[in-house]
């Protein structure tokens, strides 16, 4: 039996975590650094041509903003009551109704928030950073890797979480010791010269904090990395007491090392950013530019193109009734294929196949507000991520408002695959109950300090029905779907038409490519 790429990635995600899945995506060509080189230039007079943009997420608003600047008459139809799409933030006073009718009312303190969708912006996502600069969106550092956060497995160390720095330092030290001893014993004589052998041994001694005999043992040097049993201080009894590294067998059996590479992929290396006040500050900045073009609560029900133009019809998403028809010369459609496949359209061939069959990854997030910031006060964790084999997968600590009084919001769960489906099947109250219960196995303070929570299973989000699109056969179908065919009037865009699935950068880059194709046709 053969396994499709989608099945392979799903299996990797379930068994080895999102970091391993992303690494696999990169090796398969599904993820790469941004190709953005600067603002788009649409030269030539479009003669007042009319463009219909479907969807007011970042892809749709990017297209609308740039097309209007180039001289087009633009209209945007948006299913929701506000712009942003998956660039979405929930704050106190907000309500959210998911597929099935369950409604959650967010009761966070003023200033606290939760990003159900995108929550970070890598330094190498040049397009979205450029738009943040141009639109005046204030950014602050997002802490991805925190050596004082935890790594946790239920079957390791009696379920007690271990500090990230201890696992990382001990793993590095033991691996360096093994390689140094193998090198010193002549095992690599055929691979390295005598001079290189000496340099390698010197490097391994420094890298792993090894002794002159190339051993990784308890010492002040190793404790400078893994931490001290008693930390050095001032005054009496101030001398530091080194800590004992865990032995190699215990470390390997714990499997805590599996999470160490997560912060090393190019999209998770520092610097990483987040908008001050919530991810939707980016959506709001775009909306200030193009909000006057947007018709909200517009649920598109048909979309057709012919040699003369494009016709779409929509109903009120809140109270469906009268059908409104709109026409344009051209169209940029950013509707996710999970939704577009349910709309009556006249795409054909490869495009129709991709639209009707694209699988959307399931994901689940939960935001938990606590009465006090116990992770800072009790455990000295400021930002960063704790990883666990529990169904919540991880806990991310806020990278803002450090040392502030009052409560704070943790990302209490972010998972994929089977774990996400488990939470999808629950009602909101039950989901929150289990997220708190699982989290209390790492932070016992959960039970006493929990205040309120909100959760979003992405397969139940009505306007996308999943996190991001996954191609069944990208090599065969992607280019043909992303390209405007001969005689076509609709350009497709969105993160699903990028090699950066699930990232806002991919959405913007696909939109820029789509409007360039459209503009070339319109000005011929």
Residue 371 belongs to a domain: yes
Does residue 397 share a domain with residue 275?
yes
Per-residue pLDDT band for 10 (boundaries 50, 70, 90) equals: low
Does residue 423 share a domain with residue 383?
yes
Q: In the chain, how many domains are there?
A: 4
Residue 157 belongs to a domain: no
pLDDT of 14 strictly over 70: no
Does residue 401 share a domain with residue 332?
no
Residue 36 belongs to a domain: no
Residue 442 belongs to a domain: yes
Does residue 498 share a domain with residue 350?
yes
Does residue 356 share a domain with residue 313?
yes
| Dist CA 263 CA 270 (whole Å) | 8
Per-residue pLDDT band for 3 (boundaries 50, 70, 90) equals: low
CATH of the domain at 109: 3.90.660.10
Does residue 451 share a domain with residue 366?
yes
Does residue 394 share a domain with residue 273?
yes
Q: Give the three-class secondary structure for 200.
A: helix
Residue 471 belongs to a domain: no
Instruction: State which residues form the domain around 215.
Output: 164-254
Read off the pLDDT of residues 403-429 as tens digits, 9 standing for 90 and up.
999 999 999 999 998 999 999 999 999
Average pLDDT over residues 212-233: 94
Residue 472 belongs to a domain: no
Which of 7-11, 265-269, 319-323 has the least mean pLDDT?
Answer: 7-11
pLDDT of 29 strictly over 60: no
| Dist CA 470 CA 493 (whole Å) | 14
Query: Three-state secondary structure along 13-32?
Result: HHHHCHHHHHHHHHHCCCCC
Does residue 431 share a domain with residue 376?
yes
Residue 200 belongs to a domain: yes
CATH of the domain at 482: 3.50.50.60
Does residue 195 share a domain with residue 242?
yes
Q: 98-129 b/e with 16+ CB inside 10 Å = b?
A: beeebebebebbebbbbbbbbbbbbebbbbbb
CA 469, 510, 91 angle in degrees (round to 5)? 65
Average pLDDT over residues 231-241: 94
Query: Three-state secondary structure along 296-361?
Result: CCEEEEEEEEECCEEEEEEEECCCCCCCEEEEECEEEECCCHHHHCCCEECCCHHHHHHHHHCEEC
Cis peptide before 142 (omega within 30 of 0): no
Does residue 293 share a domain with residue 214?
no
Residue 73 belongs to a domain: yes
CATH of the domain at 250: 1.20.1440.240
Look up the pTM and report it: 0.90
Does residue 222 share a domain with residue 139?
no
Does residue 105 share a domain with residue 56?
no
Strand (E) or helix (H) holding 467: none
């Amino acid at each position: 039996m053969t396994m499709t790429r989608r099945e392979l990635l799903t299996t990797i995600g379930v068994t080895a975590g999102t970091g391993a899945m992303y690494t696999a995506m990169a090796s398969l060509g599904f993820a790469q650094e941004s190709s953005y080189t600067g603002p788009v230039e649409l030269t030539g007079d479009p003669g007042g041509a009319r463009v219909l943009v479907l969807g007011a997420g970042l892809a749709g608003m990017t297209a609308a903003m740039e097309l209007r600047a180039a001289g087009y008459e633009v209209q945007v139809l948006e299913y929701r009551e506000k712009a942003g799409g998956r660039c979405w933030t929930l704050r106190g006073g907000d309500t959210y109704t998911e597929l099935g009718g369950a409604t959650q009312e967010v009761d966070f303190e003023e200033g606290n928030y939760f990003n159900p969708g995108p929550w970070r912006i890598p330094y190498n996502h040049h397009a979205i950073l450029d738009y943040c600069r141009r639109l005046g969106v204030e950014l602050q550092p997002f802490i991805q890797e925190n050596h004082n956060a935890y790594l946790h497995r239920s079957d390791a160390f009696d379920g007690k979480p271990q500090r990230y720095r201890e696992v990382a330092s001990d793993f590095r030290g033991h691996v360096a010791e093994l390689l140094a001893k193998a090198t010193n014993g002549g095992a690599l004589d055929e691979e390295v010269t005598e001079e290189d052998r000496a340099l390698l041994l010197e490097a391994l001694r420094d890298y792993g904090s090894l002794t002159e005999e190339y051993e990784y043992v308890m010492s002040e040097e190793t404790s400078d990395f893994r931490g001290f049993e008693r930390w050095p201080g001032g005054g009496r009894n101030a001398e530091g007491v080194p800590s004992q590294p865990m032995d190699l067998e215990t470390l390997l059996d714990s499997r805590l090392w599996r999470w160490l590479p997560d912060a090393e992929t190019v999209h998770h290396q520092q610097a990483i950013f987040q908008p001050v006040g919530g991810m939707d500050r980016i959506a709001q900045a775009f909306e200030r530019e193009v909000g006057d073009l947007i018709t909200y609560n517009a649920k598109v029900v048909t979309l057709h193109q012919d040699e003369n133009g494009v016709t779409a019809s929509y109903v009120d998403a809140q109270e469906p009734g009268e059908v409104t028809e709109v026409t344009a010369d051209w169209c940029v459609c950013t509707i996710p294929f999970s939704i577009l496949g349910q709309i009556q359209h006249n795409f054909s061939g490869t495009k129709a196949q991709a639209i009707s069959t694209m699988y959307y990854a399931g994901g689940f997030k939960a935001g938990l507000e606590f009465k006090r910031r116990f992770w800072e006060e009790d455990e000295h964790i400021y930002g960063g991520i704790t990883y666990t084999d529990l169904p919540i997968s991880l806990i991310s600590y806020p990278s803002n408002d450090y040392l502030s009084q009052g409560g704070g919001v943790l990302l209490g769960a972010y998972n994929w695959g089977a774990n996400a489906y488990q939470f999808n099947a629950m009602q909101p109250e039950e989901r929150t109950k289990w997220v708190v219960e699982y989290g209390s196995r790492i932070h016992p303070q959960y039970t006493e300090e929990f205040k309120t929570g909100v959760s979003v299973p992405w397969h139940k989000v009505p306007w996308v029905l999943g996190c991001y699109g996954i191609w069944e056969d990208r090599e065969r179908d992607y280019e043909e779907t992303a390209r405007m065919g001969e005689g076509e009037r609709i350009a497709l865009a969105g993160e699903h038409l990028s090699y950066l699935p699930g990232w806002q950068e991919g959405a913007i880059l696909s939109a820029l490519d789509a409007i360039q194709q459209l503009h070339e046709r319109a000005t011929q």
